[in-house]
Amino acid sequence: MWTAPPPRRQRRRTPAETPAGVVLADLRQSRADREAAELRSYQHSLAWAALHEVDDVDRACVFDDSPIPVAGEGAPLIGEEAVSEYAAALGVATDTGKRMLGQVVEIGHRLPKLHARVTAGKVLVWQARRIAEHTIALNPDAASWVDTQVAGFANKIRLSQLDRTITAAIDRFMPAEAEAEAMRQVDTRKVVIRHQQVSAWGMSDFHGTLDLADALDLDAALTARANELKALGSTDTRDVRRSLALGELARRQLALGFHTEADAESKTVTPPVRGVDLSVHISELALAGCTCGAAALARTEHGSPLVTTRQVQNWCAQPGTLVRVRPVIDLDQHASGTRYETPALLREHLALRDDGCVFPWCTRKASVCDCDHITPHDADGPTCDCNLALLCRTHHRLKTHTRWRYDHHGHGVHVWRSPHGLLYRRDPSGTQAINPNPAARPPTTQDTS
């Protein structure tokens, strides 16, 4: 009589074969791939720097490729044009690209022990970059000493320990700089108010460094006024009441005021007028009183994110606020001048259209930019919005003296061409690389000329 065989026992999966184990394995592989890609990027960056080292400074200046230092003393100079193209290829601002390339050059030329451990895969690139950022300001002897001290455990050094090592190197090999730094640290007081980064609800951050006595006095004054506000019935939190107290302190600060004898006798002082400059774009619905949708939004003149019209109303309703109404420039209307100099109204037109430098990934604001004639004025280029764009001084010089070129395609759209043929589109929304792989593009007449 035939009997069925007993069922085969299924093999039990190991933890690594479970869905969760597979995910973890993929995560580890992704990290390894990322670290390998960073090492390749480091090696390519070194090769790019080696291809554009400037040995003959006089000859480089004749051909308008100004050599600039990107790393510490003793490291090779790199052509400015090469630095800007390197940054654009990575999709970062020129200053950021210069700092990134400088870190690579610093490691490769001034920190040989660290460089050897990076290429051997024993130190990650980001860890070496962190050390190089601190050694760039050191002289060769100090940098070499730091290299010897930290290369062996650069993969696990803490920032606090690195700072102590850098300080020790400065004290040991750079006594004059150490003394000067000590003098500079005596007065590092500052207060930074980030009024250009306003939240949608009208909030701004600020931070500062004060003398200890001043800091204690300010803390005590804010706490005292916060307690008074609570006693008067405020239900806000302590932090909110302290922030309100700081605003009151700013509006009641009279130490620098100039008062008449009559003011002194009456002991009454007029509080300072509060001015808030706003450039508010509103729709016809907002004019009709609608506060829904886009009609409820406004934008401040400082280029902040959108804020609510309710917050604008709150600002303007504060006692002592001076409200000025100015007409808005129509960006669709053609604006021009008759001379080389850019008229003030045309410059404001450009500032509203471009917001800042139009070079790929540059973040410089309009207030520090030049008005550049895309087609030079002496080559019959008109002074008008279709032939003008805002460039910071660095990129204005690059466009004038190197092979970077760009065209305006209307509505704030600019297309840039790098010296090696990479194309970038810069518009009000940001920068986009048009041809990341120029080798796949058929050569043009300009490429072969």
CA atoms 104, 105, 110, 116: torsion sign:
positive
d(CA 445, CA 227): 75
280 contacts 299 by C-beta, under 8 angstroms: yes
How many Cβ atoms are within 10 Å of 201's Cβ, its own excluded? 10
Query: How far apart are alpha carbons 280 and 100 in whole angstroms?
Result: 39
**What is the distance, to the nearest Å, from the Cα of residue 48 to the centroid of all Cα atoms in its chain?**
24
Q: Token pair 């973040």 is at which residue?
A: 363
Query: Which tokens hold the place of 159?
Result: 């920032």
Query: With contact defined as beta carbons under 8 Å apart, do 196 and 303 qualify?
Result: yes
Tokens of 320: 């002592």
Whether 379 contacts 360, CB under 8 Å: no
Q: What is the mean pLDDT of the chain?
A: 81
Q: Which residue has the higher pLDDT, 146 or 411?
A: 146
Secondary structure of the chain as H, E, C letters: CCCCCCCCCCCCCCHHHCHHHHHHHHHHHHHHHHHHHHHHHHHHHHHHHHHCEECCHHHHHHCCCCEECCCCCCCCEEEHHHHHHHHHHHCCCHHHHHHHHHHHHHHHHHCHHHHHHHHCCCCCHHHHHHHHHHHCCCCHHHHHHHHHHHHHHCCCCCHHHHHHHHHHHHHHHCHHHHHHHHHHHHCCCEEEEECCCCCCCCCCEEEEECCHHHHHHHHHHHHHHHHHHHHCCCCCCHHHHHHHHHHHHHHHCCCCCCCCHHHHHHCCCCCCCEECCCCCCCCHHHHCCCCCHHHHEECCCCCCCCEEHHHHHHHHHCCCEECCCCCCCCCCCCCECCCCCCCHHHHHHHHHHHCECCCCCCCCEHHHEEEEECCCHHHCCCCECCCEEEEEHHHHHHHHHCCCEEEECCCCCEEEECCCCCEEEEECCEEEECCCCHHHCCCCHHHHC
CB hemisphere CA count around 168 (13 angstroms): 12
The predicted pLDDT at position 303 comes to 47
373's tokens? 């004639």
pLDDT digits (tens, 9 = 90+) for 328-373: 676 777 787 878 888 888 888 898 888 899 999 999 988 889 999 9
Share of the chain above pLDDT 90, in %: 41
Q: How does residue 37 score in pLDDT terms, banded at 50, 70 and 90? A: very high
> Within 13 Å and on the Cβ side, how many CA atoms surround 277?
7
Tell me the C-alpha distance between 107 and 374, whole Å: 39
Q: What is the pLDDT of residue 444?
A: 43
Q: Is it the case that residue 443 has pLDDT exceeding 50?
A: no
pLDDT in tens, 373-402: 999 988 888 999 899 999 999 999 999 999
Instruction: Quote the pLDDT of residue 127.
Output: 94
**Percent with pLDDT over 70 in the chain:** 71
Report residue 162 as tokens: 């690195």
Q: Judging by DSSP bridges, how do beta strands 405-408 and 369-373 pair with one another?
A: unpaired
CA distance 422 to 443: 12
Q: Sketch the domain layout of the chain as residue ranges.
A: 23-183, 225-249, 275-321, 344-440
Q: What does the pLDDT read at residue 429?
A: 86
Per-residue pLDDT of 45-93, as tens digits, reads 999 999 999 876 555 454 456 889 999 999 999 999 999 999 999 999 9
Cα three-residue angle 57-60-63, rounded to 5 degrees? 155
Complete edge-to-edge strand list for the sheet that includes strand 53-54: 53-54, 77-79, 67-68
- Mean per-residue pLDDT, 260-264: 52
Angstrom distance (rounded) from CA 133 to CA 125: 12
| Separation CA 48–CA 63 (nearest Å) | 19
Q: What is the pLDDT of residue 445?
A: 40
